[in-house]
Structure formats: structure tokens, C-alpha cells
Amino acid sequence: YRAVQESLSNTMKHAQAVNFTVTMNYGMENKVGLVIHDDGIGTETYDGGFGLIGIRERVNLLNGNFTVSSDKGKGFTIQLEVPV
């Protein structure tokens, strides 16, 4: 929930996006996946502000995986998986 909340907040503040999608995947064995994507301006660098750091820390506390990807003009994507 917090990952989606923070991602939406970042999208509204920075991305200039038209669309924001959240996809949850319960089909994996022993884990849940979440993909959050916007179609905004993207970036070539994403060192991580407090929001991304907070998401990463929460996922790490749950022994999950967290990745971020973005390219200038191609939006921003956060992917995470946590064990169930």
C-alpha cells in the first residue's frame, strides 16, 4: 500500500504523466509482485529521494526485491516482489 501511495505522490509531483498503472501479481509461488508505472517524462538518473528510499527499506525489511527503471521520455517503473 505504501509503495503505491508514494509512487502516486511522486508521479503527481514530478512525472507530468497522463497514465499511472498498478499491477499486482498473485500468481507466483510464495510471493506477491507489484509493478507501478507512469507514462511521464522519465529520467536518466534516479539516485532515490526519501520516497524511493522508504519503499526500498520497507521491501528489504520483508526480504523482498525492489527495482526501478526509467528512461528520459519513457516514464518510470517500480517493480517489487515480497514473500507471502
Per-residue confidence (pLDDT) for residue 72, from 0 to 100: 92
- Closest among 63, 67, 84, 54 to 76, alpha carbons compared: 67
Per-residue confidence (pLDDT) for residue 51, from 0 to 100: 87
Rounded-to-integer distance, Cα 25 and Cα 72, Å: 27
Mean pLDDT by 10 residues, the chain (84 residues): 92 94 96 97 83 93 96 94 96
Per-residue confidence (pLDDT) for residue 46, from 0 to 100: 76
Per-residue confidence (pLDDT) for residue 35, from 0 to 100: 98
Per-residue confidence (pLDDT) for residue 50, from 0 to 100: 87
Reported pTM:
0.90
